């Protein structure tokens, strides 16, 4: 029970605020988007993985499935951070928008994200099948909490964007 309480508290700290690695909406003064540095991003990834591992309290039998899952999680989160860095860099350089290039780049990005998600699902499958009811319950709780926090962060960014538009500040 103590491990669960520690995991819950850690989840509140890690997921209680929007992920700082998200690209941020520029301020009204026209500042460019910011993304966390690679070192901080890696530290956050480490903390999230540690939280998941503490929440699951894996048995020695289950632990043999962990390395493949950890690799898939790290790969997916690292790729996400790199996408945000590229996006922030593109937003800093004003250029003419070519819609065909945007669609092609979006198609490539979605394919990459789909492949990473498939790899993550494949890595989860053998471990998930060995989880007991209590572990699955804790995992569902952590996932629901994380999804809610991501949704709230996205809504806050949209509200901030709408506030900029209301005041006529449309230079992003």
Own/partner pairs, 118-125, CB within 8 angstroms, 24+ separation? 119/72, 119/75, 119/76, 120/69, 120/72, 120/73, 120/76, 122/72, 123/65, 123/68, 123/69, 123/71, 123/72, 123/73, 124/69, 124/72
Span of 4-8, 19-23, 33-37, 70-74 with lowest mean pLDDT: 19-23
Q: How many whole angstroms separate alpha carbon 46 and alpha carbon 49?
A: 5
| 37-91: pLDDT as tens digits | 888 889 989 999 999 999 999 999 999 999 999 999 999 999 988 888 888 787 7
- Torsion angles phi and psi, residue 50, rounded to 5: -60, -40
The DSSP symbol for 89 reads H
What percent of the chain lies above the pLDDT cut of 90?
45
Confidence (pTM): 0.67
Mean pLDDT on 7-36? 47
Q: Are 143 and 15 in contact (CB under 8 A)?
A: no
How does residue 127 score in pLDDT terms, banded at 50, 70 and 90?
very high
């Amino acid at each position: 029970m103590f491990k669960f309480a520690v995991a819950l508290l850690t989840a509140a700290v890690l997921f209680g605020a929007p992920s700082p690695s998200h690209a941020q909406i520029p301020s009204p003064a026209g500042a460019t988007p910011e993304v966390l540095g690679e070192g901080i991003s890696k530290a956050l990834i480490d903390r999230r993985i540690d939280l998941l591992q503490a929440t699951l309290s894996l048995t020695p039998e289950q632990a043999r499935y962990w390395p493949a899952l950890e690799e898939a999680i790290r790969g997916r989160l690292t790729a996400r951070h790199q996408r945000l860095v590229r996006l922030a860099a593109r937003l800093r350089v004003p250029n003419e928008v070519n819609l065909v290039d945007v669609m092609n780049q979006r198609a490539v990005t979605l394919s990459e994200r789909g492949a990473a998600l498939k790899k993550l699902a494949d890595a989860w499958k053998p471990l998930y099948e060995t989880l007991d009811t209590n572990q699955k319950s804790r995992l569902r709780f952590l996932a629901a909490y994380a999804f809610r926090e991501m949704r709230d962060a996205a809504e806050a960014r949209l509200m901030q964007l709408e506030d900029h538009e209301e005041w006529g500040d449309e230079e992003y």
